[in-house]
Amino acid sequence: MTDMMQKNDLVLVTGITGYMATWVAKDLLEKGYRVRGTYRSEGKLPFIKNLLPGIELVKADLNGDAGWEDALTDVKWLFHVASPQAVATESKRTETAIAGIDNIFKFALKSPTLKKILLTSSEAAIAYGKQNKHIYTENDWTNADAKGLDDYMKSKTLEERRAWQLVNDAQVNTSHVAMAAINPSFVIGPSLVPWARYSAKQVDQLLSVPFSLPMVGYAVDVRDVAQMQISLMNNAKANGTRNLAMGIRMTMAEVKRDVIEDFHDQGIHSRQIPIPAWLLWPFRANTTAADFYPRLKGTVDYNPLHPEFYTYQYTNLRQSMSDMMTQLLRDKAIGPEAK
């Protein structure tokens, strides 16, 4: 199969200072593409320029039009990675995510050069909102109207729905730009930037509570997701598809146990009191409890519809967590020396 992207093509990666975007940009540069990245604040740019030699940078914000026309000039391939994170400090998460789609796509879908968009969505847009299912595929959508649905899940669902709505509207998508979406599960692995908040927050929460959750889920290494994004962009058969990136089936209890075993001598300690699934049963009317109760029982699984689009080997779970912990400890994001 011939790749759609050609060496020296100009590629745009949004949110270039972020956890995922830096890995995507690094891989693209190493593969010989020209890469432009968008940013909001200039404080992180010296680090990014040193991390990604040859990167071109354009200032643009999800909340407005400014910068997006310049950012998209002569671009053939758009990796839209920028989106509000699942951290408490994000305000107006859903509004910002949807505004970003509207503001970027306003210019992208009229571009004379752009051929395809690869949207970074999430498994959060597929398998939640009290659907009461045990097997999920990319044909499923999180019920964004479910009362009590986590705001991050709502934002990712409505953001992706808005993107597909615009791309599939012939009167809006006048340049016939193609799109594919990637829907990763719990993303782990090392960060190239020391300020990545989400990873540190998740690990810190895992270690700070004295319990071990038997909740069954999937984790996927950020480096694998970056490579998968490029594979999906390069494959014309992926046009118009959503794509689960599931990686390795695991339990949170297993992850916690491995981290404590591997990094005990570096000051990583936590109690591991098991929590049985039946404790959530009385709260099953609550959306969060209804979504996580079957996961605690291990009765939820996923059936990706397009595994042929990415046939490489996923990173081993323990190796991914080890690399991630090493980076977080080095950057003093967690552990005894945490800032």
- pLDDT tens digits for range 138-160: 999 999 999 999 898 999 999 99
Distances (CA, A) of 73 to 12, 53, 78, 113, 223: 10, 21, 11, 8, 28
**Cβ atoms of 240 and 290 closer than 8 Å:** no
The pLDDT assigned to 87 comes to: 47
CA distance 117 to 178: 6
**Which tens digits make up the pLDDT trace of 176-210?**
999 999 999 999 999 999 988 777 788 888 888 88
Neighbours of 309 (CB within 10 A): 18
Amino acid 323 reads: D
How many degrees, rounded to 5, is the angle at CA 197 between CA 193 and CA 203? 110
CB-count exposure of residue 201 (10 Å: 0-12, 13-18, 19+): middle
CA distance 19 to 186: 13
pTM: 0.94
3-class secondary structure, 57:
strand
Contacts 24+ apart (CB under 8 A), 160-169: 160/119, 160/121, 160/125, 160/242, 161/125, 162/98, 162/101, 162/102, 163/80, 163/101, 163/105, 163/117, 163/119, 163/121, 166/101, 166/102, 166/105, 166/109, 167/105, 167/109, 167/117
Spell out, as residue ranges, where the chain has pLDDT lower than 50: 86-89
The pLDDT assigned to 90 comes to: 52
Cα-only R_g, the chain: 20
Structure tokens at 307: 């595994």
Name the superfamily (CATH) of residues 10-187+219-245: NAD(P)-binding Rossmann-like Domain (3.40.50.720)
CA distance 159 to 140: 15
The pLDDT assigned to 323 comes to: 96
CA distance 222 to 113: 29
